Amino acid sequence: MTRLFNDPADFADEALAGFVAAHRRWVRPVTGGVVRAAGTPAGQVAVVIGGGSGHYPAFSGLVGAGLAHGAAVGNVFASPSAQQIRGVAKAAHGGAGVLLMYGNYAGDVLHFGQAADRLNAEGVPTATFAVTDDISSAPADQAAKRRGIAGDLPVFKAAAAAAEAGQPLAEVARIAAHANARTRSFGIAFSGCTLPGADEPLFTVPAGRMAVGLGIHGEPGIGEAVLPTADEAAELLVAGLLKELPDGVTAPAGNRAAVILNGLGSVKYEELFVVYRRVAELLQEAGVTVVEPEVGELVTSFDMAGVSLTLTWLDAQLEPLWTAPADTPALRKGAVAPAAAGTAAAAPESTPETEDDALPQGTAASRETAVTAAAALRAVAATVAEHAEELGRIDAVAGDGDHGIGMLRGATAADAAARDAAERGAGAGTVLHRAADAWADRAGGTSGALWGTILHAVGDALGDEERPTAATVAAGVTRAGEEVRRVGGARVGDKTMVDVLVPFADTLAAATGAGDRLAAAWDRAAGAAGEAAAATADLLPQMGRARPHAEKSLGTPDAGAHSLALIVRAVHGVLSDTTEEH
Amino acid sequence: MTRLFNDPADFADEALAGFVAAHRRWVRPVTGGVVRAAGTPAGQVAVVIGGGSGHYPAFSGLVGAGLAHGAAVGNVFASPSAQQIRGVAKAAHGGAGVLLMYGNYAGDVLHFGQAADRLNAEGVPTATFAVTDDISSAPADQAAKRRGIAGDLPVFKAAAAAAEAGQPLAEVARIAAHANARTRSFGIAFSGCTLPGADEPLFTVPAGRMAVGLGIHGEPGIGEAVLPTADEAAELLVAGLLKELPDGVTAPAGNRAAVILNGLGSVKYEELFVVYRRVAELLQEAGVTVVEPEVGELVTSFDMAGVSLTLTWLDAQLEPLWTAPADTPALRKGAVAPAAAGTAAAAPESTPETEDDALPQGTAASRETAVTAAAALRAVAATVAEHAEELGRIDAVAGDGDHGIGMLRGATAADAAARDAAERGAGAGTVLHRAADAWADRAGGTSGALWGTILHAVGDALGDEERPTAATVAAGVTRAGEEVRRVGGARVGDKTMVDVLVPFADTLAAATGAGDRLAAAWDRAAGAAGEAAAATADLLPQMGRARPHAEKSLGTPDAGAHSLALIVRAVHGVLSDTTEEH
């Protein structure tokens, strides 16, 4: 378990500060993460990687010559926010564009995608690439849905080495895709990690058993089996990877492969070596030539006990990229000359510019509404704080257990930003926009992106001029539902917050359309939301999303759906108190 | 816990094989461990380090340019044998002598000392140095009794960098002593490791508590306290080290130090960084300049949850040795040019010569005794096998829990060697000598060295000529008791095997002197041995040797004493069956 921490909410920030203090030769801190201490050589494409904290050396430990130019570092198991990613990308940009690289998780896809949109709009040519190496997370014909695990490393490295060799952005992105297409990983786990401040592990595996195919946050695997010997574990992993060869590799024999045997946290080096001994034998028997293997902790999950095997099937293009020199805190290969002063692009003296702080002022009518909006966000923060632990527990059944802490950070930041803006004379629209940005930036993760989207849509509807009618509010909520479906890609029935947001919006629109006052309509809509949230529990086990060993999975609702229902109920209290006159 | 293994008895060998398979660029295997793949540059002093397995990257992971020239690798938590150390040293020798370096533990001191004696006798100039950095293991005025923990690394590195710079053996040894005198470590632990095949951790710490000053095998610490926050842990560790400055450092302010924050196994990198953040602040506040810190897993103890802080107070001589380039599997610093072919001493084509296998033949009389001796060793192996698990359990109370596995490996090897020698016509003396060498070589650890000594002394007494009398056997046993005390340094009353061996020898001598036949005398002596072994239990808790949390410590005998009593009882069965006629 994780034992050494101060305030759990500060864990990721403090870990990053300590990492930087210990590695000043390689990295320097910027808003949102780190970049190479020597900067990006002028004219070189910058490869910016990132993801949640808790996976060290992914992602900050892989920044340095020959590998990443920067890393955006999110909270524990939560994607960095688009704003963080943008900050790191701008600091790393060497004038030749940026490739954003990350594992294929919903939150990362959302935030890196939003960051790329903003960077491109700001004139920084930016492409994105999500690694999908984990064969257990989706069948081969749906490879694009797969998660990224330890295969992150060889795919990042191929792209970064191509950038280092002077390739343009389009070619660096093409090489990332090529390396990813030839990279496969397969893992097993024996116990889950315990996050900072948590009393229990994120998941458990019965003694003497192993979970096959588990993800790096403990996402469900594809089965369970008896705890193997080290040799049996090696045989399982090698057989799994040799069964699914990539296009262009017709048989293992005669091929060359980069091999990574990765420890997830508390599987120790000696154990990895015992397993690797047999992995090397099996690959040799299959006729595969191993090229510069890596055996160690490369993509971890706190103290999770597990191990994964990654093969990157090399070709004439990929092999020199894999063996090219690299000099990072966690991975060094070959001989790397220290970066000569002057070859690097001028390192920005300060962190990237923050948003212009000139605050648009609202009309008197909108400022009155803004006070209600700020009160609503205060109520949201209070109810999230009250239920944070419960939300984490619920999320641990089918997610990675970070929903409570992410919501708490987001709601708290939104509350502060809303109050600040309201006190300084902003209208309701601006208050909600500021709250939206604060929530997304501070929370990270999928829920941070979606709550930023919701608050932004409602803020657009309210504006900074008029006193909104009940219909205006209902239209904003309907628009929020549309945006969340567009951005998140979920539909009604997928057992996500969309299952709650859509009936909430529909009921609110119907009631206000029928002439109800806002508070009464909201009350009815909140009731519909509560029923819809409870209904997300019904089919979870059948859908295979629940963890194999979670006793409480039957009847546990989706965490995002549940928190949305709690929040709309809390907001109703504010509406009843203050806006009966609307 | 350690989960991935095959036969636990093969764990250390298989881990070494896998380590070598993954790191052929740096190391190649030789009898007893590994040496640099590129060999030792001709004319350079070879620094050969070593110790038990289970501490990766100590010791094999620290072999490479700028650091060790070779590593002798023992069993799990057991010293390598003198024969293993000699094998590695001969393979690493570059013509300018060898410095053997290890942590200050009884088994290592014994085996490395014996290896040095043999190497010097064979014309390889050899010195030894034991690292003593752990301030919790003895007070400052008894610094020579202290254990070696993570301070191994800076002391090894200082000596190795001096060797790399062309210094002669005496100067390399002097620098080792100088670096050790300026190196201090202090650690805390939260849970013990579980060895391969064991069901329970070696020790436990109550939930919410920490053990202060625990060793890397779970040796007792100096106290227990409430589980600290990360900042409190940093404050405790820094304060402990700033309290005991080495000679020549009058105050922290204005000094420069190499800093190592070491994770023992399942404390993860993120946690180490959170602690290091505060360590760096505290050292800065104290006016200490940190030079090239290392934060990570450098000397581990399987999955033990613990952390230690090491400071090496640098001076003009030590700082360039600390910052000098190094290129090993686990530690890389600066830029290291690949070793050019031809600069290295010719790498031996084969592992070092094995013992001359010409077997001295015994007389008919001695060959008859040899059959009895071999039968006795068979009985010893059987009784050790029967009790191995119990011996491990007993040893876990006051030792490191490896007594059972070490005894089993030693006794099994001695049985095979004795039978082989007896079948090929050796006399009793040679049979016992071969068994002695096999036991010491295969078992390693303290018990391996002492059982080798016992069998050697008895073999000397029996010789290859005469049929021994009871008095001859008794004299051999008496001599064995003297040798064990000389080699091991323990006295009667220290609660070790000496407490059993001396009364056993005395009773045997008295009974045979009074005219008893051997079997009868042995029976009486074995009875005395059993009583003496039980008595070693009496004072353990009061002596402070028992682990703080071992519930079974009260009344648990010393493992080495207990196994000796079991063995002499088993041998009596053989004497009764076959030597009544003596």
| Same-domain check for residues B139 and B250 | no
Q: What is the average pLDDT across B22-48?
A: 96
Residue B487 lies in a domain: yes
| Same-domain check for residues A408 and A521 | yes
Q: What is the average pLDDT across A37-66?
A: 96
- Enumerate the residues of chain A whose CB falls inside 8 A of the CB of residue B338: 335
Q: End of a domain among A267, A294, A320?
A: A320
State yes or no: pLDDT of A542 exceeds 80: no
Which residue from A minimizes the CA distance to B14? A274
State yes or no: pLDDT of A219 exceeds 60: yes
pLDDT band at A548 (very low <50, low <70, confident <90, very high): very low
Long-range contacts from A190-193, C-beta under 8 angstroms, 24+ separation: A190/A227, A190/A267, A190/A305, A190/A306, A190/B3, A191/A266, A191/A304, A191/A305, A191/A306, A192/A218, A192/A304, A193/A1, A193/A2, A193/A54, A193/A218, A193/A264, A193/A265, A193/A301, A193/A302, A193/A303, A193/A304
Which residue in the set B11, B265, B295 is minimally distant from A22, CB to CB? B295
Residue B224 lies in a domain: no
Amino acid B357: pLDDT: 60
State yes or no: pLDDT of A335 exceeds 80: no
| Same-domain check for residues A459 and A556 | yes
Q: End of a domain among B320, B342, B375?
A: B320
| Same-domain check for residues A1 and A142 | yes
Give residues 420 to 459 of A whose Cβ lies within 8 Å of B: none
State yes or no: pLDDT of A390 exceeds 80: yes
> How many domains in chain B?
3
Q: What is the average pLDDT across A371-397?
A: 88
Amino acid B200: pLDDT: 82
- Of A64-78, A264-278, A354-368, B194-208, the range with the lowest mean pLDDT is A354-368
pLDDT tens-digit map of B533-569 = 988 876 443 333 333 333 334 467 888 899 999 999 9
Q: Confirm or reject contact between B6 and chain A (CB < 8 A).
A: yes
Q: Confirm or reject contact between A22 and chain B (CB < 8 A).
A: yes
pLDDT tens-digit map of B303-319 = 899 999 999 999 999 99
ipTM: 0.79
State yes or no: pLDDT of B208 exceeds 50: yes
Residue A330 lies in a domain: no
| Same-domain check for residues A153 and A216 | no
Q: Confirm or reject contact between B396 and chain A (CB < 8 A).
A: no
pLDDT tens-digit map of B480-493 = 999 898 887 788 88
Domain at B452, CATH number? 1.25.40.340
- Enumerate the residues of chain A whose CB falls inside 8 A of the CB of residue B3: 190, 227, 267, 271, 305
Q: What is the average pLDDT across A435-444?
A: 87
| Same-domain check for residues A311 and A226 | yes
Which residue from B minimizes the CA distance to A190? B3
Q: By residue range, what is the domain housing residue A308?
A: 183-191+206-320
Q: Which of B273, B298, B302, B323 to mutate to test the interface with A (most CBs of A within 10 A)?
A: B273
Amino acid B451: pLDDT: 93
Residue A339 lies in a domain: no
pLDDT tens-digit map of A391-416 = 888 877 766 677 888 899 899 999 99
Q: What is the average pLDDT across B216-226?
A: 82
pLDDT band at B199 (very low <50, low <70, confident <90, very high): confident
Whole-angstrom CA distances from A287 to A252, A320, B342 are 6, 21, 32
Q: Confirm or reject contact between A340 and chain B (CB < 8 A).
A: no
Q: Do B14 and A338 touch (CB under 8 A)?
A: no
Q: Known catalytic residues of A?
A: 217
**Residues A237/A295, Cβ–Cβ less than 8 Å:** no
Q: Which of B1, B4, B199, B237 to mutate to test the interface with A (most CBs of A within 10 A)?
A: B4
Q: Do B270 and A15 touch (CB under 8 A)?
A: yes
Give residues 548 to 577 of B whose Cβ lies within 8 Å of A: none
| Same-domain check for residues B170 and B96 | yes
Percent of chain B with pLDDT over 90: 71
Q: Which residues pair with B521 in a beta bridge?
A: none
- Enumerate the residues of chain A whose CB falls inside 8 A of the CB of residue B233: 4
Question: What value does the mean pLDDT of chain A take?
Answer: 88
Which residue from B minimizes the CA distance to A22? B293
Percent of chain A with pLDDT over 90: 71
Which residue in the set B18, B261, B277 is minimally distant from A274, CB to CB? B18
Which residue in the set A5, A269, A295 is minimally distant from B274, CB to CB? A5
Amino acid B582: pLDDT: 43
**Residues A570/A382, Cβ–Cβ less than 8 Å:** yes
Whole-angstrom CA distances from B200 to A401, A537, B76, B551 are 29, 39, 16, 13
- Of A364-368, B91-95, B110-114, B196-200, the range with the lowest mean pLDDT is B196-200
Amino acid B550: pLDDT: 37
Amino acid A403: pLDDT: 82
For A184-209, give one letter per residue: b (16+ CB within 10 A) or e. bbbbbbbbbbbbbbbeebbbbbeeee
Q: Do B276 and A54 touch (CB under 8 A)?
A: no
| Same-domain check for residues A210 and A313 | yes
Q: What is the average pLDDT across A416-437?
A: 93
Amino acid A41: pLDDT: 95
| Same-domain check for residues A505 and A558 | yes
| Same-domain check for residues A438 and A564 | yes
Token readout for A336 is 């790397």
State yes or no: pLDDT of A343 exceeds 60: no
Domain at A297, CATH number? 3.30.1180.20
| Same-domain check for residues A414 and A549 | yes
Q: Known catalytic residues of B?
A: 217
State yes or no: pLDDT of B186 exceeds 90: yes
pLDDT band at B26 (very low <50, low <70, confident <90, very high): very high
> How far does CA A63 lie from the centroid of its chain?
18
Of residues A2 and B428, more confidence is placed in: B428
What are the φ/ψ torsions at residue A100 (nearest 5 degrees)? Answer: -90, 125
Q: End of a domain among A266, A301, A320?
A: A320
Which residue from B minimizes the CA distance to A191? B1
Q: Confirm or reject contact between B66 and chain A (CB < 8 A).
A: no
State yes or no: pLDDT of B520 exceeds 60: yes
Amino acid B140: pLDDT: 92
State yes or no: pLDDT of A252 exceeds 60: yes
Q: Confirm or reject contact between B273 and chain A (CB < 8 A).
A: yes
| Same-domain check for residues B525 and B431 | yes
Of residues B395 and A430, more confidence is placed in: A430
State yes or no: pLDDT of B320 exceeds 80: yes
Q: Do B271 and A15 touch (CB under 8 A)?
A: yes
pLDDT band at B399 (very low <50, low <70, confident <90, very high): low
Q: What is the average pLDDT across B24-43?
A: 95
Residue B531 lies in a domain: yes
First to last CA, chain B: 52
Residue B11 lies in a domain: yes
Amino acid B340: pLDDT: 40
Domain at A161, CATH number? 3.40.50.10440
- Of A352-361, B277-286, B293-302, the range with the lowest mean pLDDT is A352-361
A209-212 and A223-226 strand pairing: antiparallel
Residue A344 lies in a domain: no
- Enumerate the residues of chain B whose CB falls inside 8 A of the CB of residue A78: none
Which residue from A minimizes the CA distance to B274? A15
Residue B412 lies in a domain: yes
Q: Which of A5, A232, A269 to mutate to test the interface with B (most CBs of B within 10 A)?
A: A269
Of residues A393 and B233, more confidence is placed in: B233
Amino acid B223: pLDDT: 87
**Residues A84/A72, Cβ–Cβ less than 8 Å:** yes
Q: How far is A320 from chain B (nearest CA, A)?
A: 17
Q: Confirm or reject contact between A117 and chain B (CB < 8 A).
A: no
Q: What is the average pLDDT across B437-466?
A: 90
Amino acid B87: pLDDT: 95
Neighbours of B299 (CB within 10 A): 27
Q: Confirm or reject contact between A354 and chain B (CB < 8 A).
A: no
Question: What value does the mean pLDDT of chain B take?
Answer: 88
Q: How many CB pairs under 8 A join A and B?
A: 170
